Amino acid sequence: MSTVPRTTSSPSPTVQPDKAADLAARALHAGATGRWVDFFRDLHAHPELSMQEHRTARRVSEAFRAAGLEVTEEVGTTGVVGVLRNGDGPVVMLRGDMDALPIREETELPYRSGATGTLPSGRTVPVMHACGHDMHVTCVAATAEALSRSRDAWAGTLLVVAQPGEETFQGAAAMLADGLFTRFPKPDVALGQHVMPAPVGHVVHRSGTIMSATASIEVTIRGRGGHGSQPASCVDPVTAASYFVTRVQSVVSRETPSFDPVIITPGMFHAGSQANVIPDDAVVTLNLRAMSDASLERALTAVRRIAEAESAAAGSPRSPEFAVFAEGPATVNDERLVEDLATAHGTVPGTVVTRLPQPLMGSEDFSEYGLPGGRYDGEPVPYAYWLWGGVDPDRYPGFTPADAQSADSPVPGNHTSRFELDAEPTLLAGNRLLTTAALLHLA
Ligand SMILES: [Zn+2]
Ligand SMILES: [Zn+2]
């Protein structure tokens, strides 16, 4: 986890924000919409789990090649990189993720998924595109095609990245470790977008921090097992782990500054196999969220300290063990870039730009691309990441982006079995937003 402060220098747009939207409208070929909707539906019907996106990557590579890009496959496992060189000018990166989730799809869509996949544990699970990554990568491919067709309207280099394993926070790191910014032109600007349960036409921007830093930690509390009737000759790890789970919440209530929120969720608690056996150990796996990498590190330190103290209090024969995984830094948007993008997106017909009042507690490994130092040498890349609506407004009249955050939202959210996008309008909006954003720096 990097704690190096971000010192990106804000890139200036090369075209006036209102002109970028016009150029994008001209670049996007209306006749291609049906083809891209079919492409999206095909990806939706064939979802693949994180870091196993082989078929998806093949389809995306074909699309990048057909658009006239130089294509490299298998970057960081299944990642695909497309490069379109078009004279002197900035390098603009567009990123779309490709992975799906272990969820059984329960929509009524004619192209719903019946796919299964195999988790790293060996378990076979149903698989569904329940986060919209099928839409994200389709928009990247469609935008690449639009920019390739309109090469006379811009100059520079387009770097398109189809990324594996976002849900598991593996993909961006794997692509960077495999030389994304050394084997290919290093971007001056990186752009990414995510669909959200809001009406089509809504775009949500936020300057600065838009999404939290995250990490998961597996805590193994060691006891000394034995017969359930003989607790005095054992050290019960279930009791110790239970104290740990309850006490660890005091990190949030007693140790965290009020205006720097932290979330600690013990999502898994595994111990024992029978009522009359005291097990040897108990395993608690927690997910943490924080507004900065430093706050996340502070919370992780507190989790370790409490696990060690509860183990000692129980008389545990050995110290607990820790394994941190799925770590990702906070997503911190470049402020200047967001202001220019929000202005440009505001001129796209039918678009309502809103500002997110506070960051989301969700997280994204898109943030890895802006990390200084860590996984590649050199200066950090300034980036912007925004959200756009994918819900049919006629189906949920009166529904607003703010309603999507409420507990009784009528619209199924991301990561639910009924998550559903209004394919064609969502695609049209996503293409227009992404193409506009790219042209803001390339035209
Ligand atoms: Zn997701
Ligand atoms: Zn997602």
Q: Residue 130 C-alpha to ligand 2 middle, in angstroms?
A: 8
Domain finish residue from 327, 354, 380: 327
- CATH number of the structural domain spanning residue 377: 3.40.630.10
In a domain, residue 11? The reply is no
Tokens representing 274 are: 């029978």
DSSP string, 251-320: IIIIIS-TTS-EEEEEEEEEE-SSTTEE-SEEEEEEEEEESSHHHHHHHHHHHHHHHHHHHHHHT-SS--
* Shortest-distance ligand to the CA of residue 168: 1
Q: Domain check: are 254 and 381 in the same one?
A: no
Q: Domain check: are 224 and 206 in the same one?
A: no
| E strands, 47-129, in order | 70-75, 79-86, 91-97, 116-118, 124-126
Q: Where are the alpha helices (DSSP H) in 150-262?
A: 171-177, 237-247, 250
Our count of domains for the chain comes to: 2
Q: Residue 132 C-alpha to ligand 2 middle, in angstroms?
A: 6
pLDDT tens digit at each of 443 positions of the chain: 333 444 456 777 777 777 888 888 888 877 789 999 999 999 999 999 999 999 999 999 999 999 999 999 999 999 999 999 999 999 999 999 999 999 999 999 999 999 999 999 999 999 999 999 999 999 999 999 999 999 999 999 999 999 999 999 999 999 999 999 999 999 999 999 999 999 999 999 999 999 999 999 999 999 999 999 999 999 999 999 999 999 999 999 999 999 999 999 999 999 999 999 999 999 999 999 999 889 999 999 999 999 999 999 999 999 999 999 999 899 999 999 999 999 999 999 899 999 999 999 999 999 999 865 455 566 789 999 999 999 998 888 888 877 877 778 889 999 999 999 999 999 999 999 999 999 999 97
Q: Residue 54 C-alpha to ligand 1 middle, in angstroms?
A: 19
* Shortest-distance ligand to the CA of residue 98: 2
Q: Residue 386 C-alpha to ligand 2 middle, in angstroms?
A: 12
d(CA 377, CA 379) in angstroms, rounded, equals 7
Integer angstrom CA distances of residue 260 from 241, 263, 286, 299, 363: 27, 10, 19, 11, 16
In a domain, residue 12? The reply is no
Q: Domain check: are 86 and 186 in the same one?
A: yes
Q: Domain check: are 244 and 146 in the same one?
A: no
Q: Domain check: are 365 and 302 in the same one?
A: no
The 281-290 sheet, strands edge to edge: 262-271, 281-290, 213-222, 321-328
pLDDT of residue 124: 98
In a domain, residue 107? The reply is yes
Domain finish residue from 275, 302, 327: 327
Q: Residue 413 C-alpha to ligand 1 middle, in angstroms?
A: 10
Q: Residue 16 C-alpha to ligand 1 middle, in angstroms?
A: 33
**Full-model pTM:** 0.90
Q: Domain check: are 160 and 228 in the same one?
A: no
Domain that holds residue 296: 213-327
Q: Domain check: are 236 and 382 in the same one?
A: no
Q: Domain check: are 160 and 119 in the same one?
A: yes
* Shortest-distance ligand to the CA of residue 331: 2
In a domain, residue 362? The reply is yes
Q: Domain check: are 348 and 427 in the same one?
A: yes
Residue 335 phi, psi (nearest 5): -65, -45
In a domain, residue 9? The reply is no
Q: Domain check: are 70 and 198 in the same one?
A: yes
Three-state DSSP at 175 gives helix
Q: 214, 201, 151, 141: which is closest to 360 by C-alpha?
A: 214
- CATH number of the structural domain spanning residue 300: 3.30.70.360
Q: Domain check: are 171 and 39 in the same one?
A: yes
In a domain, residue 37? The reply is yes
Three-state DSSP at 47 gives coil
In a domain, residue 416? The reply is yes
Tokens representing 372 are: 């200084």
Domain finish residue from 264, 298, 327: 327
Tokens representing 118 are: 């195999």
In a domain, residue 10? The reply is no
Q: Residue 324 C-alpha to ligand 1 middle, in angstroms?
A: 20
Q: Domain check: are 318 and 358 in the same one?
A: no
